[in-house]
Amino acid sequence: MSDIQKPKPPFPDQQQQQTPGRTAPMTPQPDHGEKSYRGSGRLAGKAAIITGGDSGIGRAVAIAYAREGADVLIAYLDEDEDARETARWVEEAGRKAVLLSGDIKDPAHCKEIVERAAREFGRLDVLVNNAAYQMTYPSIEDISDEEWDKTFDTNIGAMFRITRAAMKHMKSGAAIINTTSINADKPNPGLLAYAATKGAIQNFTAGLAQMLAEKNIRVNCVAPGPIWTPLIPSTMPQEKVEQFGSQVPMKRPGQPAELAVAYVMLASDEASYISGATIAVTGGAPIL
């Protein structure tokens, strides 16, 4: 799909009440690389965990990883239909897909994700901490203690716990890839709690990369700009959805497929000297 063909705002009214949202009602439908991604064996024989792997960025990464030769555990909240569709694409690529639903705010479930992957695959080479929660609020007075804690528990607390559990299974050459955001560098005031967690994720990534360097386990993060995923119509007011992506120089949101190459590169052995980095995929908006 050329740049000319990629969807640009304005987008039609499509509010979703459920969070984190579903793919089927979206207009236009996101592109996860179903028809475009071509693998070349860069992750052959590897096993990966992808949290939030049912839709959006997570689905695009799962499809790319499978086509590059990796088996994938797809961890997700409760979006069973989306998760089954992602698994179908993984299996169509000839790789093993394991689905595991549950709430990553629960520390026991964080451990279960890792242990299930280790049992199913017999190894763990790549951990993609991608699951996230956000909600838009116009004022700090509108953000409850419960909302603040939910955002932090989902976005950074679970990342810490899943990564900690993964350590006993990850060997030299393994890779951890965390999804941060352009909000880590340019926080959107309407996404105050979410943006704060994304700054924490970038800091966590940089510190952990130094901590694990002697074990030859690499830790990096990807910082997406505005990406067309179910989170958008389910967490933003319609006026924001209608113009979503217009604020970046490319004047459009990115498609999930446009991020997959960054996650593949960071997971591959070719990236053996890249650790502690942030890869910006932002439609031209600089992260300095």
Structure tokens at 176: 């951890």
CA distance 72 to 50: 7
CA–CA distance, 214 with 200 (Å, rounded to integer): 23
Catalytic residue among 37, 194, 263, 273: 194
Neighbouring CB atoms inside 10 A of 189's CB total: 11
Which helix (H) or strand (E) segment holds residue 176: the answer is strand 175-179
Residues 240, 254: Cα–Cα separation, whole Å: 15
Q: Is 76 a catalytic residue?
A: no
| Helix (H) or strand (E) run with residue 260 in it | helix 257-267
- For helices 145-152 and 192-212, give the axis angle rounded to 10 degrees: 30
Q: What share of the chain is helix, strand, coil (3-state, %, to 5)?
A: 40, 15, 45
CA torsion sign for 70, 179, 55, 39 is negative
Catalytic residue IDs:
194
